[in-house]
């Protein structure tokens, strides 16, 4: 079982890295891009014995306590029950 954790900047927090990436994408000729914001993605492999609910609670706690800084970031967690333990 895997937890997929997405950490993103809160709305309103400026993202200079995302801006620079946006600029590069435009230089490559991509058009109609409104905005690019950079975030972080984590995969947490969890014990297969956990229920989906337990897995979600564990991953959310890790995200809240370690992966995201609540001053500037939000997070979301998706549990993938089909993912093998040793990917």
Partner 1 sequence: MKFGVLVFPGSNCDHDAYHVLSKHVGQPVDFIWHRQTDLAGYDAVIVPGGFSYGDYLRAGALARFSPVMKAVKEFSAEGKFVFGICNGFQILCEAGLLPGALMRNSNLHFVCKHVNLRVENNRTPYTDEITESKVLSIPIAHADGNYVCDDETFQSLEENGQIVFRYCDENGEVNADSNPNGSRSNIAGICNLDRNVLGMMPHPERACEELLGSNDGREIFRSLANSIEALAA
Give the footprint of partner 1 on this chain (CB under 8 A): 13-14, 16-17, 20, 66-67, 69, 71-72
Q: Which is nearer to partner 1, 21 or 50 (CB)?
A: 21
Q: Which is nearer to partner 1, 20 or 84 (CB)?
A: 20
Whole-number minimum distance, CB 23 to partner 1, in Å?
11
Query: How many Å apart are CA 27 and CA 7, to the nearest integer?
Result: 27
Q: Which residue has the tokens 């109609």?
A: 32
> Phi-psi category of 29—alpha, beta or left, where left has phi over 0 and alpha has psi -120 to 50?
left
Whole-number minimum distance, CB 46 to partner 1, in Å?
19
Q: Which residue has the tokens 């709305």?
A: 11
């Amino acid at each position: 079982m895997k937890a997929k954790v997405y950490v993103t900047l809160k709305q309103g927090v400026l993202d200079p890295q995302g801006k620079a990436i946006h600029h590069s994408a435009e230089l490559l000729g991509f058009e109609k891009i409104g905005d690019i914001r950079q975030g972080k993605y984590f995969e947490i492999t969890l014990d297969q014995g956990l229920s989906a609910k337990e897995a979600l609670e564990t991953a959310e706690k890790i995200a809240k306590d370690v992966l995201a800084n609540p001053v500037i970031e939000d997070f979301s967690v998706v549990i993938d029950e089909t993912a093998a333990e040793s990917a």
